[in-house]
Amino acid sequence: MFGITEYLTDEHRDCDELYAKVERLVSEGRWQEATEAFRKFKEETLKHFQKEEEVLFPEFEGRTGIVMGPTQVMRMEHAQARELISKMEKALEKKDKKAFLSVGETFMILIQQHNMKEEQILYPMCDQHLDAPEVVHKMESL
């Protein structure tokens, strides 16, 4: 069965690949392509956050009654990730390779830890407690 874990884990992999591409283009100083690739990376990442914040987390909270638990931590980490994404964007606009790669590294460390917690703990709990096909459908419709 195609569950929540599989659906959202695939998106984590897609976002990782999009970021890797941006990083490579920035390293090579190919700024125009990097800017284009960054736009895609940012769009996909923010869309993924939106699916979690507007569908998954409220469904989890509503079903389990756990509102001050893992979903709260995940929302805070999304806020940190959004801030790092705008710092990356500014570095990109200034064509500041060093600043971009440094913020990018911080972003990757944060997001890898964040994704691991979701994939190993939160998503399996969601698959266990929620109507997975319905939730995936709602996220897909956003």
Among the residue ranges 19-27, 60-68, 70-78, 130-138, the one whose residues contact Fe ion (CB under 5 A): 70-78
The answer to whether 59 contacts Fe ion (rule: CB under 5 A) is no
Q: Give the CA distances from residue 74 to residues 5, 23, 53, 84, in Å, rounded to whole numbers and listed in that order.
A: 15, 25, 9, 15
DSSP 106-122: HHHHHHHHHHHHIIIII
* Shortest distance (Å) from residue 33 CB to Fe ion: 26
The answer to whether 135 contacts Fe ion (rule: CB under 5 A) is no
Q: Give the total of residues touching Fe ion (CB under 5 A).
A: 3
The answer to whether 18 contacts Fe ion (rule: CB under 5 A) is no
Nearest to 74 by CA among 50, 43, 38: 50
Long-range CB contacts for residues 63-68, cutoff 8 Å, separation at least 24: 63/129, 63/130, 64/125, 64/129
Among the residue ranges 23-31, 52-60, 63-71, 128-136, the one whose residues contact Fe ion (CB under 5 A): 52-60
Site string for Fe ion, 87-126 (x = CB under 5 A): -------------------------------x--------
